[in-house]
């Protein structure tokens, strides 16, 4: 039987199953095959905070969405074209996101009475006509897998566990993905358990063969490789890119990296990654708590290291006092906040942009801290270097505001040439003929000298008590305090940040969509849709939140309307309104999920139409 092959320009697949079903791994492997094939891609893992919620329940559903295309894409996609549902819970939890006509590949073996009851289905949706508007492929994935592995010396349970590889094989057939990488991967992953490796490979191949032979799938699909800029690529998540950016920052600053950190979702992977790279001279310190994490990083910075701490919102709350000390002592420090849904514990595995005002103001006293926000997973690399550049040059703590969406999402990354990376090195203070003044400022940057222990002749004392201008001695003089408060502010206000660039191809758009951080992808995708439909809209994206680019006010004022989508209740809008007296139109959703391009396109169109 020769099957029909249909060409598509893009596909969105969502793998969904129980936390124990290996959906993240399945998604990762499909992504690797897709990257190797040369499509552009973007991923969105979505998993519960619980390590193993009760099997088969709605809270236990874990999913992985992948968008791949023959052109450059900006988001993991709004609505899946295909849902792989490993059990009734996965179907129920994801059906709402599925447009009519989409494919559903359901593992019929798991649609038992008991599993259906667990999620409130009275009858199997595969058997009544409730799924009539979708294309349902009922596949007994578990029993097919067990049957394929009959020759192996495996327990039934072990055989059943390979069903995710069967599903991967089937989807790989359906979309013409290369298979070699997955086979090599499985051989390596289970190198110590060759029988398990062989079984997984057999299940993977059985899934592929099933697609080839079954009548359930009459069409397979091809998505041609994308025409991306020439270069060497790898697929990378935001957390990994951020960790690499910190390593690169240490190299480019010629400083040893010291990470003081405490495990917290979704930032822990940065600690894990950095702890694997000790041969770069990186010291990673898993502290007793968040406070000790930042404290140790600041202590190391006093000693001449590039001090870094990584955390998420609740950790930032605990670190606030030490960040104030870093402001007062004017030492370089990188504060990575991988934002998550709050307040309090909130939803640890869900994304949000709600820490902006905390980063701006969440300390006692007038305590300005620069803020840099990456816009895409791979941009976390460059943003980390930029944060380090500011920290080192201006001797200040700097916030790097990532979030859960960037942290766990991934995309192809065109690798930079190391020789193109900026030199961000600095000079430690040395003895001169002049009297050493620990708070004497550089005329251009207002940075104070970084005089590290071990330097003879520069012995000095710093601390959290107000400093006399110049000498750094303790001072309660009212005028000195007023001057120092203003000097610290002026130093941050004077940081050299590039101008805000506006993307406005026709040059006559009257509506500007502004964003910051991880909303870049959905906003840019929405803007594309508007333009494709003949609409005119300008787009600008802020990377530096503090200080803002010098032209920010001019840009805002040159449009009739400024729309600012944020995954918070309008935090940047509050800052911009106060600062520039521009009546910004906010669009806010705090659902723990990134914006959808279609959703934003609708919002933008409404703003254009309301002119």
Binding residues for other proteins, rule: CB under 8 A, are: 32, 35-36, 38, 181, 228-235, 244, 247-248, 251, 256, 258, 260, 277-283, 285, 287-289, 291-292, 295-305, 307, 321-322, 324-325, 329, 415-416, 418, 421, 453-465, 473-474
Least distance from other proteins to the Cβ atom of residue 399, Å? 19
Token pair for 50? 């619980």
Least distance from other proteins to the Cβ atom of residue 483, Å? 21
Whole-number Å distance between alpha carbons of 77 and 68 = 9
Beta-sheet pairing, 219-223 with 371-372? unpaired
Least distance from other proteins to the Cβ atom of residue 307, Å? 7
Closer to other proteins by Cβ: residue 35 or 149? 35
The dihedral over CA atoms of 333, 236, 74, 414, expressed in degrees to the nearest 10, equals 90
Least distance from other proteins to the Cβ atom of residue 488, Å? 17
* Angle made by CA atoms 578, 584, 589, in degrees to the nearest 5: 110
Furthest-apart CA atoms within the chain: distance in Å? 90
Closer to other proteins by Cβ: residue 306 or 400? 306
Closer to other proteins by Cβ: residue 319 or 393? 319
Least distance from other proteins to the Cβ atom of residue 445, Å? 23
Whole-number Å distance between alpha carbons of 529 and 208 = 35
| 205 backbone dihedrals φ, ψ, rounded to 5° | -70, -35
Closer to other proteins by Cβ: residue 130 or 425? 425
Least distance from other proteins to the Cβ atom of residue 296, Å? 3
Distances (CA, A) of 63 to 13, 20, 45, 534: 10, 11, 6, 35
Least distance from other proteins to the Cβ atom of residue 35, Å? 7
Closer to other proteins by Cβ: residue 86 or 292? 292
| Burial of 2: CB neighbours in 10 Å, binned 0-12, 13-18, 19+ | exposed
**Of 335, 327, 334, the residue nearest 467 (C-alpha):** 327
Closer to other proteins by Cβ: residue 36 or 599? 36
Least distance from other proteins to the Cβ atom of residue 491, Å? 21
Closer to other proteins by Cβ: residue 183 or 502? 183
Closer to other proteins by Cβ: residue 415 or 550? 415
Whole-number Å distance between alpha carbons of 296 and 225 = 47
Whole-number Å distance between alpha carbons of 591 and 474 = 48
- What DSSP line would sit under 102-158, residue for residue? -EEEEEGGG--HHHHHHTT-SS-TTTSSTTTTSEEEEE-HHHHHHHHTTTS---HHH
What pairs with residue 63 in β-bridges? 16, 46
């Amino acid at each position: 039987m020769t099957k029909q092959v249909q060409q598509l320009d893009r596909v969105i697949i969502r793998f969904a199953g129980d936390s124990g079903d290996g959906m993240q791994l399945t998604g990762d492997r499909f992504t690797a095959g897709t990257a190797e094939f040369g499509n552009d891609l973007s991923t969105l893992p979505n998993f519960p905070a619980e390590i193993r919620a009760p099997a088969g329940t709605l809270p236990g559903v874990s999913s992985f969405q992948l968008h791949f295309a023959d052109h450059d894409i900006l988001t993991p996609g709004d609505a899946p074209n295909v849902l792989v549902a490993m059990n009734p819970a996965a179907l129920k939890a994801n059906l709402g996101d599925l447009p009519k006509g989409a494919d559903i590949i359901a593992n019929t073996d798991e649609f038992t009475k008991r599993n259906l009851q667990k999620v409130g289905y009275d009858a199997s949706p595969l058997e009544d006509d409730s799924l009539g508007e979708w294309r349902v492929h009922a596949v007994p994935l578990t029993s097919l897998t067990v049957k394929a592995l009959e020759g192996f010396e495996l327990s039934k349970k072990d055989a059943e566990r390979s069903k995710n590889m069967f599903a991967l094989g089937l989807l790989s057939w359906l979309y013409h993905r290369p298979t070699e990488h997955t086979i090599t991967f499985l051989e390596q992953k289970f190198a110590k358990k060759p029988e398990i490796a062989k079984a997984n490979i057999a299940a993977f191949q059985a899934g592929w063969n099933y697609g080839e032979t079954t009548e359930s799938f009459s069409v397979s699909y091809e998505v041609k490789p994308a025409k991306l800029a020439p270069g060497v690529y790898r697929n990378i998540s935001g957390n990994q890119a951020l960790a690499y950016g910190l390593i690169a920052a240490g190299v480019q600053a010629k400083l040893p990296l010291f990470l003081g950190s405490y495990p917290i979702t979704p930032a822990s992977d940065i600690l894990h990654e950095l702890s694997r790279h000790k041969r770069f001279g990186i010291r990673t310190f898993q502290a007793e708590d968040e406070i000790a994490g930042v404290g140790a990083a600041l202590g190391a910075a006093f000693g001449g290291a590039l001090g870094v701490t990584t955390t998420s919102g609740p950790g930032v709350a605990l670190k606030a006092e030490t960040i104030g000390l870093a402001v007062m002592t004017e030492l370089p420090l990188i504060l990575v906040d991988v934002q998550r849904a709050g307040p309090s514990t909130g939803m640890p595995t869900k994304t949000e942009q709600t820490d902006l005002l905390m980063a701006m103001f969440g300390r006692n006293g007038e305590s300005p801290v620069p803020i840099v926000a990456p816009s895409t997973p791979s941009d976390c690399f460059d943003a980390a270097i930029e944060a380090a550049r500011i920290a080192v040059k201006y001797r200040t703590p700097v916030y790097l505001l990532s979030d859960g969406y960037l942290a766990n999402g991934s995309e192809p990354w065109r690798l930079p040439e190391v020789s193109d990376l900026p030199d961000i090195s600095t000079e430690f203070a040395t003895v001169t003929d002049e009297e050493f003044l620990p708070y004497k400022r550089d005329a251009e940057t207002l940075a104070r000298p970084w005089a590290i222990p071990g330097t003879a002749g520069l012995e000095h004392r710093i601390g959290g008590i107000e400093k006399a201008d110049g000498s750094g001695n303790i001072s309660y003089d009212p005028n000195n305090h007023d001057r120092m408060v203003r000097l610290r502010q002026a130093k941050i206000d004077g940081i050299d940040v590039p101008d805000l660039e506006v993307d406005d191809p026709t040059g006559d758009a009257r509506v500007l969509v502004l964003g910051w951080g991880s909303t870049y992808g959905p906003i840019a995708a929405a803007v594309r849709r508007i333009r494709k439909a003949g609409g005119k809209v300008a787009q600008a994206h802020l990377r530096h939140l503090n200080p803002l680019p010098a032209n920010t006010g001019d840009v805002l004022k040159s449009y009739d309307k400024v729309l600012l989508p944020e995954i918070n209740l309008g935090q940047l809008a509050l800052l911009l309104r106060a600062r520039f007296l521009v009546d910004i139109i906010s669009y806010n959703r705090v659902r723990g999920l990134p914006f959808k391009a279609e959703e934003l396109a609708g919002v933008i169109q409404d703003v254009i139409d309301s002119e």
